[in-house]
Amino acid sequence: MKGIKKRSDCPISGTLDVFGDKWSFLIIRDLLFRKECTYGDFLKSAEGIATNILASRLVTLEENKIIEKLEHPTSKAKVLYKLTKKGIDLLPILIEIHLWFDKYGTTPEEIREMLELVRKDKAGFIENFTKNLES
Amino acid sequence: MKGIKKRSDCPISGTLDVFGDKWSFLIIRDLLFRKECTYGDFLKSAEGIATNILASRLVTLEENKIIEKLEHPTSKAKVLYKLTKKGIDLLPILIEIHLWFDKYGTTPEEIREMLELVRKDKAGFIENFTKNLES
DNA sequence: TAAATTTGCTTGCATTTTGCAAGTACAAAT
DNA sequence: ATTTGTACTTGCAAAATGCAAGCAAATTTA
């Protein structure tokens, strides 16, 4: 599965060329909330991604420098995935999706607590969250 | 194409259940930038959506109250599509996608001009843009 | 006013992507 | 030494996508 074909110069189109499917952004969500995930961690997520799809999405995200692979500190059998800076910088998009959803849908309580912080000081929230992920 | 199956309670997942494909958000982009579009207008967009896909996406977006149909003021042969408030409120997501893309990709000049306004006063930009679309 | 064109779709079919179930190779635990 | 865990790959069926053609109603043109 090689280079993605660009449909136009439009930034929205270009972004969808990479993330425009039902799974990629869930992988990013997992990594934003959990910082580092193994292959098995992704498989355990509530939505139930198929293993072949997961593998192909991880490749695409890595090709596009959104995520990177790391050695697991204690086990050679495991692989750690984490976001690059480019990936971490998707946080504001994720936040706006959450805010929009909260306005028109039903947000789980735990997340709604996070959104209160966001509403109090969005820039500060993003800065802190980002710092934590970068470290 | 009937009701969409919800994969989990996660807001990201729920949003992707509706928009998680390569085309839906381009339709919304068109409507944000052009305010009202006919079926033919969407077909003319640079990315070249297939007519059957367009028709099915318009149905889904309408079912989900993101867009609505309007009578064309001068022609019964034409149909006007426009965003609902719920659809207009996707603007902040679109903006963050643009800002992210601009950081890591190449944004067309015309759009970059818009982004300067956004960076000067994001809240004001959104307010004005929204007001214009609502009227 | 009859014929041609425009408009918003639908239909049929080939290609591509997805999803499910198994299988594999290597690491690690028992 | 054997079983289990982990990260995948493979094969195949089902679903989604893409392309081309078709169609009915509205509109324009002759």
CA–CA dist A105, B14 (Å, integer): 9
pLDDT at position B1: 38
Q: Would you say the C-beta of A56 is within 7 Å of strand C? A: yes
Closest CA to A115 of A86, A94, A132: A94
User: Chain B contacts of A46, Cβ < 8 Å?
Assistant: 7-10, 13
pLDDT at position A100: 98
User: Which nucleotides in chain C have some atom under 7 angstroms from a protein Cβ?
Assistant: 6-12, 17-23, 26-29
Q: Exposure of B3 by Cβ count < 10 A (0-12 exposed, 13-18 middle, 19+ buried)?
A: exposed
- A92 to B94: CB separation less than 8 angstroms, yes or no: no
N-terminal to C-terminal alpha carbon distance within chain A: 31
Tens digits of per-residue pLDDT, B75-85? 999 999 999 99
- B93 to A97: CB separation less than 8 angstroms, yes or no: yes
Tens digits of per-residue pLDDT, B87-131? 999 999 999 999 999 999 999 999 999 999 999 999 999 999 999
Given a contact cutoff of 8 angstroms between Cβ atoms, the answer to whether B83 and B32 are in contact is yes
Q: Rounded to whole angstroms, what are the CA distances from B95 to A129, B71, B135?
A: 20, 29, 20
Which domains can be identified in chain A, with CATH numbers? 1-85 (1.10.10.10), 90-135 (no CATH)
HSE of A20, CA atoms in CB hemisphere, 13 A: 19
Residue by residue, DSSP assigns B28-94 as HHHHHHHSEE-HHHHHHSTT---HHHHHHHHHHHHHTTSEEEEE-SS-SS-EEEEE-HHHHTTHHHH
Where do we find the tokens 């593998």? A55
Tens digits of per-residue pLDDT, B19-62? 999 999 999 999 999 999 999 999 999 999 999 999 999 999 99
Q: CB under 8 Å to A116, separation ≥6 — which residues?
A: none
Residues in a beta bridge with A23:
none
CA-to-C1' distance for B50 and C13, Å?
Answer: 15
Residues of chain B above pLDDT 90, percent: 96
User: Chain B contacts of A101, Cβ < 8 Å?
Assistant: 11-12, 14-15
CA-to-C1' distance for B48 and C13, Å?
Answer: 20
User: Chain B contacts of A107, Cβ < 8 Å?
Assistant: 11
Computed over every residue of chain A, the mean pLDDT equals 96
Give me the residues near strand D, CB below 7 A: A 38-41, 51-52, 55, 58, 69, 72, 75, 77-79; B 21-23, 48-53, 56, 75-77
Tens digits of per-residue pLDDT, A74-118? 999 999 999 999 999 999 999 999 999 999 999 999 999 999 999
Residue by residue, DSSP assigns A58-105 as HHHHHHTTSEEEEE-SS-TT-EEEEE-HHHHTTHHHHHHHHHHHHHHS
CA-to-C1' distance for A67 and D5, Å?
Answer: 24
Specify the higher pLDDT residue, A4 or A72: A72
